[in-house]
Amino acid sequence: MEKSTTVTSEKKISSNCINDDLSFNILSKLPLKSLKRFGCVCKSWAPLFENPHFMSTFRSHFISNHQSLYNDTSLLLQVTGREFHILSDDNELENTINLPNPFQQEDLFFNILGSGSITGILCLHRYQGGPIVFWNPSVQEFKVIPPSPGESVPRYQLFSTVINGFGYDHVRDDYKLIKHLFYTSPSSRDCEDLGLHDVPWKEVLDCESLWEIYSLRTNSWKKLDMDVCFEGISYNFSAHSSLCGQLLFLDGKCHWWHYVHLSDAELALESFDLISEVLCTTLVPLDIHFVAGAPHLVELSGFIALISWIYSSTPTFDISILGEIGVKESWIKLFIVGPLSCIHKPVGSGKNADIFFIQEDGEIVCLNLSTQIIEELDVKGDHYRQVGQVLMYKENFLSIERINH
């Protein structure tokens, strides 16, 4: 009797088991965050990301499941300092729009901050400092942002500005801008160039900094107590964090790169929540980040993605996805593209699993991750002036001033 019972139980267990093919198919449809956590449930699930068959299925679901996120969005391709092309869903050139010239200056060069805007308002800025402008291309309206209190310093006090994020606070229906100011003491040569004499050196701040955030709704700046967020960690703030591919706004958070000095210098993604004004740090594994400098930051199928590579005549590009903010282990290398000849660097992402690159000759090309086909757009940019970036954009026919009242 005991033997019969044992055999019956074994048959029952066997009939309730799910074979690997079926379980892999189910798992490939799960969100990345859940999939990472399920690796400890079953021994055969742990090495899923090393299984070529599973990864191929997972990539297909990953790309196809999130295309609705880009309904009613357009792509803007910057081709000169002030000229943009609107791209169709087939990456055809549909229309041309020009950046405004609110200060009526000759050769006024602005750039778009971050990766664009799905809420209709773009932030224009200049790398060498100066005014910041909010622009709505749909109604051809712009607003010049007032200088912050941190910029009101004596002539003998020098400072530089790094813009770390721009985005939309959906709770307060407000657009916000984050920046970091660095103060330095002038040298004798600086004083000579500025025509300064009798500088009160005791009053000059040395190597201090200040964080500020701007609100369009109140049209004002306020100081951010970011020192609390960074307590116990030393940061090397990049002077170029506002360049193309260094900033991203997604899901109410502004994201940017920093190098963190712990036991050794490590790349970190900083994520600042515009609603709660809380900062979260996500370290990047060294096996993912191997480019000389910060990798390119993009949105891919609704996820934060980084593109890393090593400069060469035929570079190979790795595309990694972040499953959960704050969790270093949730990064996963999802796509390997290349080697590609004559490619200089990535310049943005598109709707249909498209990644845009600029070639050494300035030509803009598009690679579709699903088909691995590269398409030329017959448009040239200028990678030396950061021109050639591709931005997400969604039309908004509401006035900027409606928020500023």
Going along the chain from its start, the domains and CATH numbers come out as 16-63 (no CATH), 66-402 (2.120.10.30)
3-state helix, strand, coil in the chain (%, to 5): 20, 40, 40
Given a cut of 70, whether residue 214 has pLDDT beyond it is yes
- CA 101 to chain centroid: 26
Residue 66 in tokens: 């999130």
Residues 145-191: tens digit of each pLDDT: 998 887 776 666 667 778 889 999 999 999 999 988 877 777 667 66
pLDDT band (50, 70, 90) for residue 358: confident
Least confident of 82-96, 102-116, 295-309, 361-375: 102-116
Whether residue 387 contacts residue 381, with contact meaning beta carbons closer than 8 Å, is answered with: yes
pLDDT for 198 equals: 67
pLDDT for 378 equals: 76
The phi, psi pair for 337, rounded to 5°, reads -115, 125
Q: Taking Cα atoms as reference points, which of 291, 297, 335 lies closest to residue 311?
A: 291
Least confident of 17-21, 258-262, 351-355: 17-21
Q: Which helix (H) or strand (E) holds 208?
A: strand 208-215
The phi, psi pair for 281, rounded to 5°, reads -110, 135
Q: Characterize the bridge pairing of strands 390-394 and 247-250.
A: unpaired
pLDDT for 155 equals: 63
